[in-house]
Amino acid sequence: MRLHELSAARIAGGVRSGEFSAQEVLKAFLSRIERDEPRVRAFLALFGEQALEAARAVDAKRAAGDPLGALAGVPVALKDNILVKGVETTCASKILRGHRSAYDAHVVERLRAADAVPLGKTNMDEFAMGSSTENSAFFKTANPWDTGRVPGGSSGGSAAAVAAGFAPLALGSDTGGSIRQPAAFCGVVGLKPTYGLVSRYGLVAFASSLDQIGPLSRTVEDAALALSVIAGHDARDTTSATAAPEAALKSGRGLSGLRVGLPKEYFVSGLDAEVEKSVREAIAALERLGARAVEISLPHTRYALSSYYIIAPSEASSNLARFDGVRYGLRAGEAASLEQLYERTRGQGFGPEVKRRIMLGTYALSSGYYDAYYAKAQRVRTLIARDFERVFAESVDLIAAPTTPTPPFRLGEKLDDPLSMYLSDVFTIPSNMAGNASLSIPCGLTAGGLPIGLQLIGGRFKEGLLLGAARALEAERPFPRLEAAA
């Protein structure tokens, strides 16, 4: 039995039954990482002895006859903006090199309580700003399907780790598509929960009104399992929803008669022909399963990208002001004044993309421009959210669309063209602006063997409906695993 090929649900069941131990599982994944990590470079750090101690604790718990949790013995990779007590958390930035977290993030607490085994920290775009994981201050991560191409971003390390068989589950964060876009590029399932369903306590903030933690996995069942563990109210996060997570996870119905909306604004000129073909084939499969496709319009979608790139950088410029050389991480030497300390620390510590977005955000929030830019962008955001509310109330149950406008692009292809890079998230950003539940599921391969993702979007707290439709589609059209394609 090749343990690294098993799903998270299968691993947890096997550990609970005693079919194999948590230590055996961990060693199987570590062996896989040792073999292939040099060509993929998904991890910034592995937990090593700490992970082995966690696995031993799970095995000891079982030996004592104590009940085990939902993720018993399952290795979980964590994006490097999620805090783990005593472990270096850098957000893939030089400015946080050497910073060790003083506490666990809420989601890490939940994973430990479910007897999961935290495995390591995955590479990412610096402070989650990017769409390719090329903005890491340390190294670039490669797409396991084609190491000359990007894995997407900013959760590219987490997506690559799952695709390469380094972990059955990973957590990422999604501010404008940073779970779903790399999931599509790496041929895995990526879920962005409803804003507030998963606590952001212990997530290093990029844009606080948009950020959301979610799982990446090889199967829809595993995504649902991970969400059931990490979802729930947390009083330490003032935006945490008070509704019971079980309500969000209930599907309540099958696919028969399910109304699936096809927004015309997502099937536009510039959409790659192979992407459109695969997405429409997946929609046809949903129809064969009993769903009914309905063309809809989300007219304010056209403004989502531009308004996002005012709101997100504005929030980032505020959130990143705390990195000043005094409280966290890097401190530049030989500063003659406090102002010079700030300037030199940030100049040395932040990368080009982070600096670009801080400057954009600071400008948009400055005197004389706040109303013209930030306030107007927030009004547009309200219109985008109302578009979704209207179609879900009047026309459809779910929305189906491409996750990305293109397949994975080549490493370096868009680094010198920020606007082209930003367009990678054009189909995912609207869900973040509205706070909706959404996921990406693999739906096909290009002629060159590169993954393509279908995005399913639901209303707030409709994760169960999304996951039910995705699971039915997964059963109807199984997606090839990377090893089978290699």
Q: Where are the domains of the chain?
A: 3-257+397-485, 302-376
Average pLDDT over the chain reads: 95
- CA–CA separation, 439 vs 223, rounded Å? 10
How many Cβ atoms from other residues are within 10 Å of residue 463's Cβ?
29
User: Which contacts (CB < 8 Å, 24+ apart) does range 270-278 have?
Assistant: 270/405, 271/402, 271/405, 272/405, 272/406, 272/407, 274/407, 274/444, 274/446, 274/447, 274/452, 275/402, 275/404, 275/405, 275/406, 275/407, 275/452, 276/402, 277/444, 278/443, 278/444, 278/445, 278/452, 278/454
CATH number of 3-257+397-485: 3.90.1300.10
Q: Which of 131, 132, 136, 178 is catalytic?
A: 178
310 pLDDT tier (thresholds 50, 70, 90): very high
| Closest to 128 measured CA to CA, from 87, 77, 75, 181 | 181
Q: Which of 21, 93, 154, 424 is catalytic?
A: 154
| Per-residue pLDDT at 462 | 94
Task: Indicate the SS3 state at residue 359.
Answer: helix
Q: Dump pLDDT digits (tens) for 410-445.
A: 999 999 898 899 999 999 999 999 999 999 999 999
| Per-residue pLDDT at 484 | 46
Reply yes or no on whether 240 is catalytic: no
The pair phi, psi for residue 340, each rounded to 5°, is -70, -35
Q: Which of 79, 121, 414, 462 is catalytic?
A: 79
Identity of the amino acid at 350: F
Identity of the amino acid at 423: L
| Per-residue pLDDT at 486 | 46
Reply yes or no on whether 154 is catalytic: yes
483 pLDDT tier (thresholds 50, 70, 90): low
How many Cβ atoms from other residues are within 10 Å of residue 91's Cβ?
28
- Mean pLDDT check: name the lowest of 44-48, 217-221, 330-334: 330-334
Q: Listing from the earlier edge strand, what are the strands of the sheet with 292-296?
A: 43-46, 117-122, 75-79, 169-173, 213-217, 189-192, 437-445, 451-458, 398-402, 259-263, 292-296
Q: Dump pLDDT digits (tens) for 170-207.
A: 999 999 999 999 999 999 999 999 999 999 999 999 99
| Per-residue pLDDT at 179 | 98
Beta-bridge mates of residue 190: 216, 440
Reply yes or no on whether 209 is catalytic: no
